Structure 1
Amino acid sequence: MGWGDLCSYGHPTQECGEIDKMVAEGMRFTQWYSADSLCSPSRAALLTGRLPIRVGVWGGERVFANDGSGGLPKNETTIAEVLKDAGYATGMVGKWHLGINEFLPGDGRHLPHHHGFDFVGTNLPFTNHWACDESKVHLAHPNPIKCFLYWNATLVQQPFRHDNLTASFLQDSVAFIHSNKDTPFFLYLSFAHMHTDMFSAPRFRETSRRGRYGDGLRELDWAVGEVLKTLVSLQIQHRTLVIFLSDHGGHLEICTEGGSNGILKGGKASTWDGGLRVPGIAWWPGVVAPGQVSQHLVSSMDVFQTAAELAGVTPPKDRIYDGKSLVPILLEKAPAVPTSKLPPSPRTLFHYCSDRLMAVRYGEYKAHFYSMELPTNYTEHCPSGVPKVEYYTSFDCYGPHITHHEPPLLYNIDRDPGELYPLPVGQYDEVIANILAAKLQHQASLVPGKAQCKETSTTLQPCCNPPFCYCNYKPASHR
């Protein structure tokens, strides 16, 4: 989902709904950044509070493949593991995309139950892939082998059906909440929306002015609303913090079905702000004041430290964390608008493409040491606004489309959020010096984890009923 996709984030034709109501009742962040512009690394960073380069979720095509042997390393500590040790019930439902098998086709050694989740409901270990497009709008012959659904660690559907996918995620999530309403719990609910291919249940089709993308967003909006209504009906909303966010920016190369990043440059896979800045919303009735807008520079990696502080636990001290607790902001102990444009120690974010440090955000400034060339052939590629094939700006972080900048390209993001007007670096010597010092200090402390996304093997492809790779079982909880 892109930064400009929601009604409350300024989209002119997207219907307002439950997520926008959540904004009105909570806090909207205008500068929430994902730790990466692709699925797997951003999710690894969210769950561990650490940059993907530290945890090893990099290399190859930067995401885990359906037949890959790599995964989120078991020596990394997730939010679920920290909270589980503090007595929380932990649950995961939806898209995982942090590895599946390691040695054998069905060993499931990278699945969520190995990372602190006691309950794992309906889940996509891989992703909602382009090859799963049942409408055949873009592919005349989809490849269903890449389209599989698990319940806990068991493959139950191949190919999976889109019609009730979101409803299944919702059903399992609501059941988990009901089962744990009297105890502390942590639920990681990761929807398949808004990922290629676009889909929605029949009741939502052709209901949005935006077409298939808008239909899917309306279904997502409905499901989010049902989760919030469940908390209210159980009267536990006053002790439950809900954070809504996207894992990266919109996928502009798929035209009207890729989402909107508003005025931001670039999109998915790039380190321009359109690939990294995402919607971020916090909802906690009675604790987070309604109608708040925070302009603080925050990261998805902050969720880990926020959860740890609220639970009163201390994460392992044998590693470096890149996130910070959002508790002072959520509880209004910090002003919604930073009081100083450039405080003594401004928030610094490091933007990577795989293992290459591309850009550094330093307070209101952003310096690009490398940048990706953006596509210019949208008209040719998107007849009638619909893409002919799927493609990205690039997965490759070292190809000829990458430009090295020395000195770096410098932007004032507060004044120029679209990254259109580079500043004359000669007039910003102090800013450049501070950014270079922060960069050197960061790189001196960095020990990259072993690259996990390089490991692939066709023998590890999940397949039920070999050699047919076709099944449609109903989980016991859905019977």
Structure 2
Amino acid sequence: GSSAKQTTWEGGHRVPTIAYWAGKIPANVTSHMMLSTLDVFPTVVSLANASLPPHRRFDGMDISEVLFGKLNKGHETLFHPNSGAAGKYGHLQALRLNQYKAFYVTGGAKACDGSIGQEEHHHPPLIFNLQNHIQEQKPLDSKSAEYHVVLPIINQALLDILQDIATDNISIADYSHDPAAIPCCNPQHLVCRCQSTYWRSDLKTYRKQLD
């Protein structure tokens, strides 16, 4: 993606990937599967004939069979956190569900002259069918049958990932002997992660909006 960087729009994160492995990856083959850089780690672990820790959840998936041309299945759902535009850094503001893309917050991007656009919150979300409008210029009519069919599925997908983050983002390591290594719980700090950070706040806020 060459435009709309640091935003959740397709131009901000859609990037083609080239994979080469003589004798393993078939040549001159194009795949349109939805994949993620989060898939790199579990794929490398699999190719090394190793195993992921059994009691941890990983957002990425082993895509070796996709690379080898033996499987045509990627992610059904991808989540797009804010990376510097509207809202708070890291908050989930858009998600992709197959060919549908839902936006809960848009705007706030910085222009070339340094000015920042107006931030806009969408309740219910904007939903685009990327199969028909890859440019994300024409969202579905919120009164249409298609919108009402896909909206509850998208809402549930967002609730599921927020719940997953809120309950899994806990470390059992003992850092008490090294103060410099103690994880902080300051939600204003980008590298701080603990049970009291903004994921639980996001989950409560979103549930209230649905109610």
The answer to whether TM tops 0.5 is yes
CA distance in 2, matches of 1:327, 1:362: 22
Work out whether residues 271 and 372 of structure 1, in 8 Å CA contact, stay in contact via their aligned partners in 2.
no
CA distance in 2, matches of 1:346, 1:301: 11
RCO comparison, higher one (Cα < 8 Å, 6+): 1
Return closer, same or farther for 1:454/1:331 CA change in 2, 3 Å cut-off.
closer
Work out whether residues 358 and 368 of structure 1, in 8 Å CA contact, stay in contact via their aligned partners in 2.
yes
CA distance in 2, matches of 1:279, 1:295: 10
Q: How many residues align?
A: 166
CA distance in 2, matches of 1:392, 1:328: 45
Q: Are 2:7 and 1:270 equivalent residues in the alignment?
A: yes
Q: Are 2:124 and 1:407 equivalent residues in the alignment?
A: yes
Return closer, same or farther for 1:411/1:310 CA change in 2, 3 Å cut-off.
same
CA distance in 2, matches of 1:321, 1:346: 13
Q: Are 2:77 and 1:348 equivalent residues in the alignment?
A: yes
In structure 2, the partner of 1:361 is 96
In structure 1, the partner of 2:42 is 305
5 Å-filtered alignment, 1:313-352, equals: 313-335=50-72, 347-352=76-81
Structure 1 stretches of 4+ with a deviation exceeding 6 A read none
Work out whether residues 127 and 140 of structure 2, in 8 Å CA contact, stay in contact via their aligned partners in 1.
yes
CA distance in 1, matches of 2:59, 2:142: 27
How much identity, in percent, do the aligned residues show?
Answer: 30
Return closer, same or farther for 1:329/1:416 CA change in 2, 3 Å cut-off.
same
CA distance in 2, matches of 1:358, 1:368: 6
- Root-mean-square deviation (Å): 2.5
Structure 2 residue corresponding to 1:416, chosen from 133, 141, 144: 133
CA distance in 1, matches of 2:98, 2:36: 13
Work out whether residues 412 and 423 of structure 1, in 8 Å CA contact, stay in contact via their aligned partners in 2.
yes
Structure 2 counterpart of 1:347, which letter?
Answer: E
Return closer, same or farther for 1:435/1:305 CA change in 2, 3 Å cut-off.
same
Q: Are 2:149 and 1:430 equivalent residues in the alignment?
A: yes
| Deviates most, 357-366 or 419-428 | 419-428
The alignment partner of 1:281 has SS state of: coil
CA distance in 2, matches of 1:430, 1:405: 18
CA distance in 2, matches of 1:351, 1:292: 27
The alignment partner of 2:157 has SS state of: helix
Q: What are the ranges of 5 or more consecutive residues in structure 2 without an aligned counterpart? A: 83-88, 171-184, 193-211
The alignment partner of 1:406 has SS state of: strand
CA distance in 2, matches of 1:392, 1:435: 32
Work out whether residues 302 and 325 of structure 1, in 8 Å CA contact, stay in contact via their aligned partners in 2.
yes
TM-score for both structures, normalised by structure 1: 0.32
CA distance in 2, matches of 1:284, 1:445: 35
Structure 1 residue corresponding to 2:161, chosen from 442, 449, 456: 442
Give 1:348 deviation, angstroms: 0.6
5 Å-filtered alignment, 1:5-404, equals: 260-261=2-3, 266-267=4-5, 269-335=6-72, 347-353=76-82, 354-374=89-109, 381=113, 391=114, 401-404=118-121
Give 1:317 deviation, angstroms: 2.5
CA distance in 1, matches of 2:163, 2:33: 27
Structure 1 counterpart of 2:80, which letter?
Answer: H
Going by fraction, where is strand more abundant, 1 or 2?
1
Structure 1 counterpart of 2:27, which letter?
Answer: P
Structure 1 counterpart of 2:94, which letter?
Answer: A
Structure 2 counterpart of 1:415, which letter?
Answer: N
Q: Deviations over 1:189-240 (max 9, x none)?
A: xxxxxxxxxxxxxxxxxxxxxxxxxxxxxxxxxxxxxxxxxxxxxxxxxxxx
Structure 1 counterpart of 2:96, which letter?
Answer: R
CA distance in 1, matches of 2:14, 2:132: 16
Return closer, same or farther for 1:278/1:305 CA change in 2, 3 Å cut-off.
same
CA distance in 2, matches of 1:402, 1:421: 19
Give 1:426 deviation, angstroms: 2.7
CA distance in 2, matches of 1:313, 1:329: 19
